[in-house]
Amino acid sequence: MRGAVTQTINGLVVGNTYTLSFEWGAGQLRSRDGATTEQLIYGLGNTAYATNVLSNPSHGFSGWNKVTQNFTATGTSQVLSFLSNGTPNGLPPVALLDNVSVTAAVPEPATWGMMIVGFGAVGASLRSRRRSGAAVAA
C-alpha cells in the first residue's frame, strides 16, 4: 500500500494461525472545521482488510477502537501495513494507532477438548500396560 506505515514480521511458521490486534482512533487536524470520516486500511502480505468507517464531528476524536484479526502465515515473514483513508477528499485523514501486536492464536475449545481426550487415552493405555505387565510377572 503506497503511503502506508509498514513493518515486516519475521519468524512466522507457514500454516500456523496468528492473531493481529491493535487499537485505533480517528481524529482531526486542529484547523479543521466540519465533519470528516476516517477508516484504517490494514494489510498482511497480499491480503487487505478495512476497519469500520468512523464519522467525526468538527474538532472530534472517535475514541479508541480495538481490532482483532486472525490470519494464517503464508511465509516465514510477512509485511504488515496500515493506511489511513477518509473524507472529504484533499484533506489528510488522521488515524491514530496503538498497541499493535501479533501473537500465536489460542487454540479453539474443540482443540483443547481433543487434546485432553488424547492425554486421557494415553494415560489409560499406560495404565492398561502396567496391569497386564504385572499379571504376566506374577
pLDDT digits over 84-122, tens only?
998 887 677 888 999 999 999 876 666 556 666 666 666
Return all residues near 27 (Cβ < 8 A) that are at least 6 apart: 38, 56, 60, 61, 62, 94, 95, 96
Q: Is the pLDDT of residue 134 over 60?
A: no
Residues 51, 86, single domain; the answer is yes
Question: 44 is in which domain, residue-wise?
Answer: 5-106
Q: Taking 80 as the threshold, does the pLDDT of residue 123 lie above it? A: no
Q: Give the bridge partners for 87, in sequence order.
A: 37
The answer on 112 and 102 residing in a single domain is: no
Same domain, 25 and 93: yes
Percentage of the chain with pLDDT > 70? 75
Domain count, the chain: 2
Cell numbers describing residue 78: 510477512
Q: What's the CATH number where 98 sits?
A: 2.60.120.260
How many Cα atoms sit within 13 Å of 104 on the Cβ side?
Answer: 7
Considering the domain architecture, whether residues 101 and 112 belong to the same structural domain is answered as: no
Average pLDDT over residues 70-88: 94
Q: Edge-to-edge strand order for the sheet containing 94-104?
A: 65-72, 17-27, 94-104
The yes-or-no verdict on residue 135 having pLDDT over 60 is no
